């Protein structure tokens, strides 16, 4: 049995060792695998997955994906004839493949962000299910290699609400994709647990007396808040429904911080906030489309031929055409992920240092940008305010003030965020957990409890 944090930004696996959760080291990835996948062609993902499956899963999969498998075989033949590799890569290796040739192959980051999207066609849902299954298959194989045994029972983390506009319908769609993918790759028992609740379980293990704990879990795609009654007595219970005092959640997470930082701090060097020759402000829509890597529709619009013509016209009309030429390069060379990744790495660096230098000379010679923590705070004010609203909502629902705020998730490391949260609840203790590991550890504890 394992705890499986299939996260928006990173994936991790936990097992119980000597009554304590332990995060596994998974091959060359280490304990955390970035939630990214790269394929030389999108069409071959289904074929790669097919090879990983065992019978009878393989037989039923072949019937369900007959046309996709044939299309993939055609793509495999073309890749082989042209001398291209045909394997998938995951984590940092996937990002490296993308950065080497952004306009080639198929790269996806944070597929979890898309699972609750409204308006997905059946073939799109099938593609996302295959992407998730491929990533799960890779992680499951690494887990079994690390443990030296098979694993077939898991608890998977889930946000309170997935990213999507249709509420419960979006949640049902996302959970179905995750459940189908997990069972397809060999998990016989699959349960889900709310990520903020799981993070709370890990904090609870350290308590010696009862406390009201506001868990703030800032994931890659969502932020979830849960007010929980915690303590030694509660930890021994199998039914925690009465201990869960309130829930709140919104589609704002670490990825949104990255995108906001890219738009507000990097895109001005690509023409945002500049002027047209007429003196009118530069239209801003294209800059949002360029950086919205978690929005299928906006990215499709940005990379359309129609938008390429629009950007070329903007260059002709711009007071500073050299800036808009950089944006056209992003469009033509498919560099959206490259720019947002630069923002993400800057956000991470600003947790340890007050300023950060960004080198974008691969996009345009001489393009350098300097950022600092105040720049980060200003760029992400909307995201910070959204988290504050979620905290307020959870406290109001519970009709009680927390004794402590337990914060987890990658962005929880940021001094800017920690200072902001303290301002929201002055005098309340703020505890920052294991930034990535808290959820995984809590899922592992729950898996051990329900499957034991």
- Taking only the tens place, the pLDDT of each residue in 346-378 is 999 999 999 999 999 999 999 999 999 999 999
Question: 77 lies in a domain?
Answer: yes
Q: Is the pLDDT of residue 206 over 90?
A: no
Within this chain, do residues 165 and 223 fall inside the same structural domain, yes or no?
Answer: no
Q: Output the CA torsion sign for 78, 80, 84, 87.
A: positive
For residue 440, give the nearest of 156, 111, 92, 230 by alpha carbon.
Answer: 156
The rounded distance, in Å, linking the Cα atoms of 8 and 32 is 12
Question: 452 lies in a domain?
Answer: no
366 DSSP assignment:
T
Partners of residue 249 on adjacent β-strands = 224
Question: 451 lies in a domain?
Answer: no
Cα–Cα distance list, 2 to 22, 54, 81 (Å): 10, 20, 41
Burial class (CB in 10 A: 0-12, 13-18, 19+), 256: buried
Question: 320 lies in a domain?
Answer: yes
Q: What is the pLDDT of residue 312?
A: 97
Q: What is the pLDDT of residue 101?
A: 84
Structural tokens at position 310: 């629009």
Within this chain, do residues 243 and 334 fall inside the same structural domain, yes or no?
Answer: no
The rounded distance, in Å, linking the Cα atoms of 353 and 356 is 7
Rg (CA), the chain: 23
Within this chain, do residues 231 and 274 fall inside the same structural domain, yes or no?
Answer: no
CA dihedral 349, 350, 352, 354 (to 10 degrees): 130
Burial class (CB in 10 A: 0-12, 13-18, 19+), 166: middle
Characterize the bridge pairing of strands 20-23 and 10-17.
antiparallel
Structural tokens at position 220: 């890659």
Number of domains making up the chain: 3
72 DSSP assignment:
H
Q: What is the pLDDT of residue 165?
A: 62
Output the DSSP codes for 83-150: T-----EETHHHHHHHHH-TTSSEEEE-GGGGTT-TT--HHHHHHHHHHHHHHHHHHHHHHHHHHTS-
Look up the domain containing 121 and give its range.
2-195
Within this chain, do residues 261 and 334 fall inside the same structural domain, yes or no?
Answer: yes
Within this chain, do residues 131 and 36 fall inside the same structural domain, yes or no?
Answer: yes
Within this chain, do residues 165 and 283 fall inside the same structural domain, yes or no?
Answer: no
Q: What is the pLDDT of residue 102?
A: 85
Within this chain, do residues 415 and 400 fall inside the same structural domain, yes or no?
Answer: yes
Question: 449 lies in a domain?
Answer: no
Within this chain, do residues 213 and 87 fall inside the same structural domain, yes or no?
Answer: no
Within this chain, do residues 191 and 213 fall inside the same structural domain, yes or no?
Answer: no
Instruction: Give per-residue pLDDT as tens, 288-334.
Output: 999 998 887 899 899 999 999 999 999 999 999 999 999 999 999 99
Q: How confident is the model at residue 129 (pLDDT cuts 50, 70, 90)?
A: very high
User: Residues 93-118, buried b or exposed e (16+ Cβ, 10 A)?
Assistant: bbbebbeeebeebbbbbbbbbbbbbe
For residue 379, give the nearest of 271, 257, 219 by alpha carbon.
Answer: 257
Within this chain, do residues 324 and 241 fall inside the same structural domain, yes or no?
Answer: no
Q: Is the pLDDT of residue 166 over 80?
A: no
Q: How confident is the model at residue 387 (pLDDT cuts 50, 70, 90)?
A: very high
Partners of residue 227 on adjacent β-strands = 214, 246
Question: 342 lies in a domain?
Answer: yes
Structural tokens at position 177: 């994709």
Question: 444 lies in a domain?
Answer: no
Q: Is the pLDDT of residue 188 over 90?
A: yes
Q: How confident is the model at residue 173 (pLDDT cuts 50, 70, 90)?
A: very high
Burial class (CB in 10 A: 0-12, 13-18, 19+), 180: middle
Question: 223 lies in a domain?
Answer: yes
The rounded distance, in Å, linking the Cα atoms of 422 and 315 is 45
Supply the mean pLDDT for the chain: 92
Through-space distance between the first and last CA atoms of the chain, rounded to whole angstroms: 9
The answer to whether 197 and 215 have CB atoms below 8 angstroms apart is: yes
The rounded distance, in Å, linking the Cα atoms of 149 and 255 is 35
Residue 318 φ then ψ, to 5°: -80, 145
The answer to whether 187 and 154 have CB atoms below 8 angstroms apart is: yes
CATH number for the domain spanning 390: value is 3.30.420.40
Residues contacting 177, CB < 8 A, separation 6+: 115, 125, 128, 129, 132
Instruction: Give per-residue pLDDT as tens, 77-116.
Output: 999 998 888 999 999 999 999 888 888 899 998 899 889 8
Within this chain, do residues 49 and 183 fall inside the same structural domain, yes or no?
Answer: yes
Residues contacting 120, CB < 8 A, separation 6+: 114, 128, 173
Q: Taking residues 152-176, report their average pLDDT.
A: 86
Within this chain, do residues 275 and 392 fall inside the same structural domain, yes or no?
Answer: no
């Amino acid at each position: 049995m394992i705890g499986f944090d299939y996260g928006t930004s990173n994936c991790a696996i936990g097992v119980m060792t000597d009554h304590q959760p332990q995060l596994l080291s998974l091959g060359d990835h280490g304990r955390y695998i970035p939630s990214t996948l790269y394929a030389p062609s999108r069409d071959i993902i289904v074929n790669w997955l097919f090879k990983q499956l065992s019978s009878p899963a393989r037989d039923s999969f072949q019937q369900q994906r007959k046309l996709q498998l044939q299309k993939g075989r055609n793509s495999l033949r073309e890749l082989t004839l042209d001398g291209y590799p045909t394997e998938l890569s995951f984590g940092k290796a996937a990002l490296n493949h993308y950065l080497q040739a952004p306009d080639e192959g198929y790269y996806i980051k944070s597929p979890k962000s898309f699972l609750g999207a409204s308006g997905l066609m059946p073939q799109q849902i099938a593609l996302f299910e295959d992407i998730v299954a491929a990533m799960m298959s890779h992680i499951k194989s690494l887990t079994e290699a690390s443990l030296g045994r098979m694993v077939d029972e898991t608890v998977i983390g889930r946000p309170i609400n997935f990213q999507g506009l249709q509420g419960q319908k979006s949640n049902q769609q996302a959970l179905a994709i995750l459940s189908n993918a997990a069972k397809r790759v060999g998990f016989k028992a699959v349960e889900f647990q709310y990520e903020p609740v799981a993070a709370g379980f890990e904090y609870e293990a350290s308590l010696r007396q009862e406390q009201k704990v506001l868990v703030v879990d800032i994931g890659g795609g969502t932020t979830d808040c849960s007010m929980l009654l915690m303590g030694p007595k509660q930890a021994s219970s199998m039914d925690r429904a009465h201990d869960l005092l309130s829930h709140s959640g919104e589609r704002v997470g670490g990825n949104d911080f990255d995108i906001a930082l890219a738009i507000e701090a990097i895109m001005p060097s690509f023409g945002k906030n500049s002027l047209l020759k007429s003196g009118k402000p530069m239209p801003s829509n294209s800059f949002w489309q360029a950086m919205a890597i978690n929005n299928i529709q906006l990215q499709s619009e940005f990379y359309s031929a129609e938008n390429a013509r629009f950007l070329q016209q903007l260059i002709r009309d711009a007071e500073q055409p050299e800036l808009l030429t950089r944006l056209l390069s992003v469009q033509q060379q498919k560099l959206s992920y490259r720019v947002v990744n630069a923002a993400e790495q800057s956000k991470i660096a600003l947790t340890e240092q007050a300023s950060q230098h960004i080198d974008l000379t691969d996009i345009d010679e001489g393009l350098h940008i300097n950022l600092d923590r105040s720049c980060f705070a200003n760029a992400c004010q909307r995201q910070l305010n959204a988290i504050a609203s979620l905290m307020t909502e959870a406290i109001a629902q519970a009709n009680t003030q927390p004794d402590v705020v337990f914060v987890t998730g990658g962005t929880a490391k940021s001094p800017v965020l920690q200072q902001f949260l303290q301002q929201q609840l002055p005098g309340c203790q703020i505890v920052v957990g294991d930034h990535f590991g808290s959820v995984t550890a809590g899922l592992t504890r729950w898996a051990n409890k329900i499957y034991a």
